[in-house]
Amino acid sequence: MADTATSAGALTIAQGKCMGHGRCYAVAPDLLTDDEEGFVAQAGQVLPIESGLVDEAKAAADACPERAIEFVEN
């Protein structure tokens, strides 16, 4: 994946907010996966998002009832 300087945006996943609902990785399987306990495996990370995955990143952020995921466009 590209670095944030050349990406279309960034997806930030707040580790302490994730409650394991699974909605994010259900709507964004190309970006997010679950861990062995059902939480998003990328919690605590900032992921650069390529232009072709912007809609999926926005869907993941919108799907999270805890607002643990934020997408910021460059």
Q: What tokens does 25 get?
A: 């990785």
C-alpha to C-alpha distance for 73 and 26, rounded to whole angstroms: 22
pLDDT value of residue 6: 74
pLDDT tens per residue, range 11-60: 999 999 999 999 999 999 999 999 999 999 999 999 999 999 999 999 99
